[in-house]
Chains A and B, each alone.
Chain A
Amino acid sequence: MKLPQIILLVAIAIGIGIIVSVSFDVSTYRTFKEAKEMALNNDKSEIHVVGSLIKDEHGHIQGMYYEPRIDPNYFSFPLKDSLNNEMTVVYSSPKPADFDRSDKVVVIGKVKGDKFVASKILLKCPSKYNDKEIEKTSYKEDELLEQTLALKQ
Chain B
Amino acid sequence: MNVGNVGHFFVIISFVSSILAGIGYFFNTQQLIGPSKDQANWRTFSRIAFGIHAIAVLGVVISLYYIIRNHRYEYHYAWDHSSNILPVYYMISCFWEGQEGSFLLWIFWHALLGLFIIRYAKNWEAPVMSIFSAVQAFLCSMILGVLFTDTFKIGSSPFVLLKDVLGDLPIYKMNPNYVPSDGTGLNPLLQNYWMVIHPPTLFLGFALTLVPFSFCISGLYTFKTKEWVKPALPWALIAALVLGIGIMMGAYWAYETLNFGGYWNWDPVENAVYVPWIMLVAAIHTMIIYKSSETALRLSSILVVLSFILVLYSTFLTRSGILGEASVHSFTDLGLSGQLLLYLGFFLVVSAVIIAVRWKSIPATKSELEIYDKEFWLFIGVAVLTLMLLQVLVDTSRPVYNAVAKGLGFVGNAAPPSDAVGYYGLRQMIFSILVLIVSATAQFFYWNKVEKTNLMKVFYYPLLVTGLLIIIVLPIISSFHKFKPLYLTLVLACLYAIVSNGFVLSRFMSKSFKFTGGSVSHIGIAFMLLGILYSAGFSKVVSLNTTGMLISKQMSDQMNQENSILYRNTPTRMADYTLTFRGPRIEIKGLPGYFSKEKIQALKANKAILLDDAKVDNKVFFKKGDTVTYFAENTYFQIDYSDTTKARKYLFSLYPRIQSNDNMGNIASPDIRRDLGKDLYTHITYADDGSEAKKWSDMEEQQVSVGDTLFLNDYVAKLNGIQKLNVSEIHGIPLTANDIAVQADLEILGADKVYHVHPTYIIKDMQVGRVPEVIVDLGLRVVFMAIDPASGKFTFGIQSTQKDFIVMKAAEKPMINLLWIGTGLVCAGLLVALIRRWKEARIKETL
Contacts and interface: CB of A to CB of B under 8 A. Distances in A.
Interface of A: 2-5, 7-8, 11-12, 15-16, 18-19, 22-23, 25-30, 46-48, 50, 66, 68-74, 90, 92-95, 97-98, 101, 106, 108-109, 112, 115, 117, 119-120, 122, 124-125, 127-130, 132-133, 135-137, 139-141, 144-145, 147-148, 151-152
Given A7-B371, A72-B686, A127-B664, A46 B390 contact: no
B471 interface: no
Contacts of A106: 325
B561 to A, nearest CB: 5
A69 B395 CA distance: 40
A135 B368 contact: no
Top 7 A-B residue pairs of the complex, sorted by shortest distance between their CB atoms = A15-B387, A94-B686, A98-B665, A97-B666, A46-B418, A48-B415, A144-B171
Interface stretch (B476-484, B546-554, B783-791): B546-554
A111 B441 CA distance: 48
Interface in B646-675: 658, 662-668
B550 A15 contact: no
A14 B211 CA distance: 34
B268 to A, nearest CB: 13
Contact of A144 (B170, B415, B549): B170
B396 to A, nearest CB: 12
Contacts of B180: 140, 144
A130 B686 contact: no
Contacts, number: 194
A52 B265 CA distance: 26
Contacts of B379: 8
B370 interface: yes
B384 interface: yes
Nearest to A76: B551
B416 interface: yes
Contacts of A148: 170-171, 174
Given A11-B383, A139-B663, A18 B658 contact: no
B807 A97 contact: no
A15 B391 CA distance: 9
B650 to A, nearest CB: 25
Contact of B805 (A7, A68, A112, A147): A68
Given A23-B394, A68-B686, A145-B170, A73 B663 contact: no
B169 interface: yes
Interface string B405-437: 000000001111111000100010011001000
B801 interface: no
A125 to B, nearest CB: 6
A34 to B, nearest CB: 10
Nearest to B691: A100
A80 B333 CA distance: 27
A125 B413 CA distance: 22
Given A23-B394, A93-B685, 5 more contacts: A8-B383, A71-B552, A125-B665, A137-B166, A144-B171
Contact of B552 (A46, A73, A97, A151): A73
A26 B658 CA distance: 35
B220 to A, nearest CB: 26
Contacts of A108: 415, 418
Contact of B663 (A15, A27, A109, A127): A127
A12 B418 contact: no
A20 to B, nearest CB: 9
A72 B379 CA distance: 53
A124 B550 CA distance: 30
Interface string B378-395: 011001100110110011
Contact of B419 (A28, A46, A127, A145): A46
Contact of B665 (A3, A72, A101, A136): A101
Nearest to B390: A19
A128 B80 CA distance: 13
B189 to A, nearest CB: 10
Given A7-B380, A68-B807, A27 B416 contact: yes
Nearest to A95: B686
B80 A18 contact: no
A139 B430 CA distance: 49
Contacts of A74: 549, 551-552, 555
Contacts of A4: 369-371, 373, 376
B658 A122 contact: no
A130 B390 contact: no
Given A68-B805, A98-B666, A151-B174, A22 B394 contact: yes
A59 to B, nearest CB: 14
B555 A128 contact: no
A72 B391 contact: no
A12 B349 CA distance: 26
B686 A122 contact: no
8 contacts: A25-B417, A71-B551, A72-B564, A97-B665, A108-B418, A127-B663, A130-B321, A147-B171
B807 A26 contact: no
A27 B369 CA distance: 42
A136 B550 CA distance: 41
Q: Which interface residue of A16, A122, A140, A152 has the most chain B CB atoms within 10 A?
A: A140
B329 interface: yes
Contacts of A19: 387, 390-391, 394
Given A46-B419, A132-B332, A140 B384 contact: no
Contacts of B329: 129
Given A71-B552, A90-B555, A95-B686, A2 B419 contact: no
A130 B371 contact: no
B184 interface: yes
B414 A128 contact: no
B737 interface: no
Given A7-B371, A72-B564, A92 B555 contact: yes
Contacts of A93: 560, 562-563, 685
A129 B330 contact: yes
Interface in B251-278: none
Interface in B557-612: 559-565
A30 B805 CA distance: 38
A19 B604 CA distance: 56
Contacts of B325: 48, 50, 106, 122, 124
B563 A27 contact: no
Contact of B415 (A12, A28, A140): A28
B510 interface: no
Contacts of A124: 325
Contact of B418 (A119, A132, A139): A119
Contacts of B561: 73, 92
A15 B418 contact: no
Contacts of A120: 418-419
Given A73-B562, A129-B328, A5 B398 contact: no
A66 B309 CA distance: 48
Contacts of B738: none
Contacts of A112: 555-556
Contact of B333 (A26, A122, A130): A130
B413 A136 contact: no
Contacts of B565: 68-69, 72
Contact of B548 (A47, A72, A152): A72
Interface in B479-515: none
B784 to A, nearest CB: 30
B545 interface: yes
Given A3-B371, A22-B394, A136-B663, A130 B332 contact: yes
Contact of A15 (B383, B666, B807): B383
B548 A71 contact: yes
A97 B333 CA distance: 24
A128 B415 contact: no
